[in-house]
Chain A
Amino acid sequence: MKLPLLAAFAAAAFLGAMPSLFAEPAPAQAAVKMPVIDFVEYDLPNGLHVILHQNKTAPVVSTYLLYHVGSKNERADRTGFAHFFEHLMFEGSENIQRGQIDKLVSAAGGNLNASTSFDRTDYHFNLPANQLGLALWIESERMLHGKVEEVGVETQRQVVKEERRLGTDNAPYGTLFENLAAAVFAGTPYQWTPIGSAQYIDQASLAEFRDFYHKYYVPNNATLVVAGDFDIEAVKKQIAAYFGPIPRGKEIERPQFELQPQTAPTEKTVALPTTPLPAAVHAWRAPAETADDAPAVELLADILGTGRSSRLHERLVRQEQAASAVDVFPYLLEKGGTLGIFATGNPGTPLEKLDKILDEEIAKVRDHGVSAEELQKVKNNKLRELASSYATMQNRARNLAHYHVMFGDTNALNHQWERYDAVTPEAIQAAAVKYLTPQGANVLHYPVVKPNPSK
């Protein structure tokens, strides 16, 4: 509120001076030795893609099974279907009674979970190394003859609605991502989020679940990764025994669409009594994760918002104290993505002030680009981020599957740093000019709703 013009001026002066702070020569840095993830991969005759990564530093094994189906495969009048189906996969199979999967895995000393995103559904188990066979048995049972019964469907309908209330309807800013997707991805199957709409869960029939299962839960749509402490040859045999007999499904029809450049900005206000602080979200369309300019977009997001010395944190939080926090999140998917900024205002901050500062900072990066030092900083941060993704077998398994399915090249995991290292300051500015356009901006406001004075 105080002297916004002066403050804006000061900010410009500060940013102008920034390169000089980096002018001292950076100390010579030793090369970072990134771990090389060794793996073997192959297809079973039924199309199941298998990736095995052996590592014996702890007596632990993780399995990760990815089905290449997510909310973007849903019909517009069946949103939430893929995620709901994920819940049903814990019901049981021909040989596993309802409710037994959790118990079998717990009794084996392990744990499990699953998740559904826009592009994929994944299931993972972490087990002591002696129990790998259990995971393979359960996953193959679910893929061969999973069982969906009315009683389980009814229960999970209630459970999923509670999951939605917990994360979306009852949480402060819980509808943010849903509103953001609706605006940024309008006209594509990314415009609804995986949690979906409760009404459609009620409408889906048992026959639809069966169809979905036979269409997508087939070996030729799945990638199985095993990572950790096991014997490769023995596990190959186990996998062949458990998964080999599962029949191949039909070819999968993938949604065909392209995220076109947006031609007009959008604005929406979400007024809820549970909003504690005023918040503004600005979001744009961005490329798919595999696009050539995707690394530039990710590093651009880091320059704007990662770390206390980032542009937006420095200006919004430290200098002008307009915001208590600011997050910049690139969310790049298979067929397109978004780059969003989420600024939480300090109590009493007008949303217009947040908007104005964000607009100015975005214009600045479009018009003037970034310095070589700023880019070096975010590259160092990216290197740190990548270097810290190898600690657990579960992470390694997930990353191997991700590179296979999204990039079509499992070994790209071992070259991920090179994509970022090659980014130039010019590429960052080009990404800002191309994606962070005024006509492509989608603004969401979460104002603080004053309590009813008559109360």
Chain B
Amino acid sequence: MKTLSLMLALSLASAPLGFTAPDDVDRTQPPAAGPLPAVTFPDAVTETLPNGMNVFILPTQKQPMVTFRLLLRSGEICDGTKPGLADLTASLLNKGTAELSAGEFAKKTDFLGIRVEAQAGDDATAITASGLSRDSAEILGFLRDAALHPAFQQGEVDKEKRKMIADLTQKKMEPEDLSERLRDKLLYGQHPYGASPTPETVQTITREDIVQFHEEHFLPNNASLVIVGDVQPEAVLAQVKEAFGTWKQGTVAMNYPIFSTKKGSLFPLIKGISVAVVDRPGSVQSNILVAGRGVAKNNADLPQLGVVNAVLGGGMSGRLFANLREKHGYTYGSYSGFTAKKFGGTFAATAQVRNAVTGAAVGEILAELKRIHTEPVPEKELALQRNYLIGNFLMSVENDERTAQRQQEIDLYGLPADYYKTYAAKLAALTPEKAAELAKQYIDPAHLVIVVVGEAKEIVPQLEKYGKVTVYDADLQPVSGKAAKKGQ
């Protein structure tokens, strides 16, 4: 907090003061601005408990709230042969503990306005407990009971499986979800990142699977806890030690294929351009994802790659937005991005466009990928995007929960401790030469999968010129040709 207020004092001193009288303004151009305030990533109070759990505390007085977020470094990547296992385990954490039934747990937390929610991602499982800071001790207690002592009562397991199957049924009609799951299936192949649960895989999950998953992954040496909000660091640390100090270390089951792959890439080779259409009858808009291989979260180029991506499609001032929206009126928004996970990543450019211009929109996206791959980015354009990302990073420090999550990202992905302290400087150092190099290396317009969710009979003819088209159903199974269908 001290570094922050010091920085503010500095920024004030440099604030523009050029407007002393109404007559002074020159309307014909933007006002001159002082220098950007210094970017300071706040320090957290950090401690590692004897059992291996890392604790980060970020006190802030903006509102009388507190959030505890426990992160296990195990997620869907640990599903093994049963996609949905990590998710189901997470969703059962707040459905009953050793002491409270699911109903009682809901009543007691609801009564205090406390939310305890858990979710599994690819690489990690997060359990978040939040509420009014006056209830800090109770919130921590609920978090501990949910994470460490869930009951996994059979009746609740059955209910959650049913709910998960309903959710999967719903997702089959959501264009964005369909396109992202098919992209992952095509780019990650047999790797767990490419799997997504189906009603069938969910049905095979038993209570024993869940109990075992919990035993093998919910361990203090596999966890970090961040506390952000209106708390006294010493007091809350003492509470955390009491709540989690007796949690016993164990051996984390690292059962994902990264450790068993013998050679080469973990992921399938993407050669040339192919087109994958998910047929969604009744669609009046196509959801386009032009995707390729990306980078892992710990790739040192990732921050600067973010600037290159911003030139292409990072926001409203990116090339995709200017081309597909402002020039052609094809879409409400067109963007691109690198999705980085622990062991790999993807790159994708997206747009949602009406059926009639689907082929043309894909053509414009491909042209923009080619342009950034081959032509150097002018310094003026690069500077704009550097400033955009540096300024927005500076502003993100306002969001304490975001800062807290970044602390845990460092822990989860094994990033250098100063990763976010030096983040803005890394962005600022990007030259046009380096940007050209990064674009050449990481945005490859020759090896892509084009995923489109929409009305197949209207859009397939528009897409055939870009590559071989395979049509998939809502279960993401190929339907082109009878043989493919019979082969299921």
B484 at the A interface (CB under 8 A): no
B172 at the A interface (CB under 8 A): yes
> Chain A, 268-298, contact with B by CB distance < 8 Å: what is the 0/1 string?
0000111111000000000000000000000
Q: Which of B77-85, B324-332, B462-470 contacts A (4 or more CB under 8 A)?
A: B324-332
B162 at the A interface (CB under 8 A): yes
**Is the Cβ of B37 less than 8 Å from the Cβ of A128?**
yes
**Is the Cβ of B283 less than 8 Å from the Cβ of A58?**
no
A306 and B391 alpha carbons, distance in the complex (Å): 37
Residues 446-488 (chain B) with a chain A CB within 8 angstroms: none
Contacts of A392 on B, CB cut-off 8 Å?
A: 398-399
Given A59-B37, A155-B326, A234 and B17 contact (CB-CB distance below 8 Å): yes
B125 at the A interface (CB under 8 A): no
**Is the Cβ of B322 less than 8 Å from the Cβ of A170?**
no
Contacts of B12 on A, CB cut-off 8 Å?
A: 56, 129, 229, 231
B260 at the A interface (CB under 8 A): no
A27 and B485 alpha carbons, distance in the complex (Å): 62
> Chain B, 349-392, contact with A by CB distance < 8 Å: what is the 0/1 string?
00011100000000000000000000000000001110110111
B14 at the A interface (CB under 8 A): yes
A380 and B139 alpha carbons, distance in the complex (Å): 14
> Chain A, 257-277, contact with B by CB distance < 8 Å: what is the 0/1 string?
000000000000000111111
**Is the Cβ of B15 less than 8 Å from the Cβ of A230?**
yes
**Is the Cβ of B8 less than 8 Å from the Cβ of A229?**
yes
Of B7, B130, B132, B171, most buried by chain A (CB within 10 Å of CB) is: B132
B131 at the A interface (CB under 8 A): yes
**Is the Cβ of B173 less than 8 Å from the Cβ of A162?**
no
A47 at the B interface (CB under 8 A): no
Q: Closest residue to B171 on the A side, CB-wise?
A: A276
Q: Closest residue to B111 on the A side, CB-wise?
A: A377
> Chain B, 115-137, contact with A by CB distance < 8 Å: what is the 0/1 string?
00000000000000011101100
**Is the Cβ of A387 less than 8 Å from the Cβ of B132?**
yes
**Is the Cβ of B15 less than 8 Å from the Cβ of A130?**
yes
A377 and B107 alpha carbons, distance in the complex (Å): 9
A29 at the B interface (CB under 8 A): yes
Of A59, A160, A307, A309, most buried by chain B (CB within 10 Å of CB) is: A59
A451 and B175 alpha carbons, distance in the complex (Å): 18
A359 at the B interface (CB under 8 A): no
A344 and B173 alpha carbons, distance in the complex (Å): 14
**Is the Cβ of B19 less than 8 Å from the Cβ of A128?**
no
A425 at the B interface (CB under 8 A): no
A241 at the B interface (CB under 8 A): yes
A166 and B453 alpha carbons, distance in the complex (Å): 13
Contacts of B280 on A, CB cut-off 8 Å?
A: 274
A388 and B112 alpha carbons, distance in the complex (Å): 14
Contacts of A144 on B, CB cut-off 8 Å?
A: 27
Contacts of B34 on A, CB cut-off 8 Å?
A: 130
A34 at the B interface (CB under 8 A): yes
Residues 290-311 (chain B) with a chain A CB within 8 angstroms: none
Q: Closest residue to B135 on the A side, CB-wise?
A: A29
A156 and B328 alpha carbons, distance in the complex (Å): 10
Which of A133, A159, A391 lies in contact with B332, CB distance below 8 A? A159
Contacts of B400 on A, CB cut-off 8 Å?
A: 391
A392 and B395 alpha carbons, distance in the complex (Å): 10
**Is the Cβ of B384 less than 8 Å from the Cβ of A107?**
yes
Distance in angstroms from A170 CB to nearest chain B CB is: 4
B264 at the A interface (CB under 8 A): no
Q: Closest residue to B19 on the A side, CB-wise?
A: A238
B262 at the A interface (CB under 8 A): no
Distance in angstroms from A373 CB to nearest chain B CB is: 8
Given A241-B21, A380-B112, A390-B63, A106 and B388 contact (CB-CB distance below 8 Å): yes
**Is the Cβ of B63 less than 8 Å from the Cβ of A130?**
no
A408 at the B interface (CB under 8 A): no
A409 at the B interface (CB under 8 A): no
B265 at the A interface (CB under 8 A): no
Q: Closest residue to B116 on the A side, CB-wise?
A: A308
**Is the Cβ of A159 less than 8 Å from the Cβ of B329?**
yes
> Chain A, 140-157, contact with B by CB distance < 8 Å: what is the 0/1 string?
010010000000001111
Distance in angstroms from A219 CB to nearest chain B CB is: 15
Q: Which of A63-71, A97-105, A208-216 contacts B (4 or more CB under 8 A)?
A: A97-105
**Is the Cβ of B395 less than 8 Å from the Cβ of A102?**
no
Contacts of B316 on A, CB cut-off 8 Å?
A: 102, 106, 112
Give the bracket for the number of chain B residues in contact with chain A. Answer: 35 or more
Contacts of A57 on B, CB cut-off 8 Å?
A: 4, 8, 60, 62, 398
Given A106-B316, A229-B12, A162 and B332 contact (CB-CB distance below 8 Å): yes
**Is the Cβ of A162 less than 8 Å from the Cβ of B106?**
no
> Chain B, 275-288, contact with A by CB distance < 8 Å: what is the 0/1 string?
00000111111000
Distance in angstroms from A451 CB to nearest chain B CB is: 8
**Is the Cβ of B8 less than 8 Å from the Cβ of A59?**
yes
A102 and B94 alpha carbons, distance in the complex (Å): 43
Contacts of B20 on A, CB cut-off 8 Å?
A: 237
Of A161, A317, A387, most buried by chain B (CB within 10 Å of CB) is: A387
> Chain B, 95-123, contact with A by CB distance < 8 Å: what is the 0/1 string?
00000001110110111111000000000
**Is the Cβ of B36 less than 8 Å from the Cβ of A128?**
yes
Given A59-B7, A109-B392, A324 and B329 contact (CB-CB distance below 8 Å): no
Q: Closest residue to B316 on the A side, CB-wise?
A: A102
Given A133-B19, A234-B19, A381-B113, A170 and B63 contact (CB-CB distance below 8 Å): no
A53 and B64 alpha carbons, distance in the complex (Å): 19
> Chain B, 1-25, contact with A by CB distance < 8 Å: what is the 0/1 string?
0001101100110111101111111
Contacts of A231 on B, CB cut-off 8 Å?
A: 12, 15, 17
> Chain A, 106-135, contact with B by CB distance < 8 Å: what is the 0/1 string?
111111100000000000001111110110
A376 at the B interface (CB under 8 A): yes
Contacts of A274 on B, CB cut-off 8 Å?
A: 173, 280, 282-283
**Is the Cβ of B159 less than 8 Å from the Cβ of A129?**
no
A314 at the B interface (CB under 8 A): yes
**Is the Cβ of A109 less than 8 Å from the Cβ of B395?**
yes
A346 and B132 alpha carbons, distance in the complex (Å): 34
Of A103, A244, A373, A391, most buried by chain B (CB within 10 Å of CB) is: A391
A34 and B64 alpha carbons, distance in the complex (Å): 7
Residues 36-59 (chain A) with a chain B CB within 8 angstroms: 56-59
B433 at the A interface (CB under 8 A): no
Interface residues of B (CB under 8 A from A): 4-5, 7-8, 11-12, 14-17, 19-25, 27-37, 60, 62-65, 94, 102-104, 106-107, 109-114, 130-132, 134-135, 159, 162-163, 165-167, 169-175, 280-285, 315-317, 321-322, 325-332, 352-354, 383-385, 387-388, 390-392, 394-395, 397-401
Closest 8 CB pairs of A and B: A109-B391, A158-B329, A384-B113, A324-B166, A273-B282, A133-B31, A59-B37, A308-B106
A/B interface sample: 20 pairs, CB < 8 A: A35-B62, A57-B8, A58-B398, A60-B398, A109-B391, A110-B392, A130-B37, A133-B32, A158-B330, A161-B354, A166-B352, A171-B175, A234-B19, A237-B22, A321-B159, A346-B163, A346-B166, A376-B111, A377-B111, A391-B398
20 new A-B contacts at CB < 8 Å, known A169-B284, A238-B31? A94-B27, A102-B315, A102-B321, A107-B317, A107-B388, A109-B390, A133-B32, A159-B329, A162-B330, A234-B15, A273-B281, A277-B170, A309-B103, A310-B110, A344-B166, A380-B112, A380-B113, A384-B131, A388-B63, A393-B398
Interface residues of A (CB under 8 A from B): 21-22, 26, 29-35, 56-60, 94-95, 99, 102-112, 126-131, 133-134, 136-138, 141, 144, 154-163, 165-166, 169-172, 229-231, 234, 237-238, 240-242, 244-245, 272-277, 306-310, 314, 317-318, 321, 324, 344, 346-347, 373, 376-377, 380-385, 387-393, 451
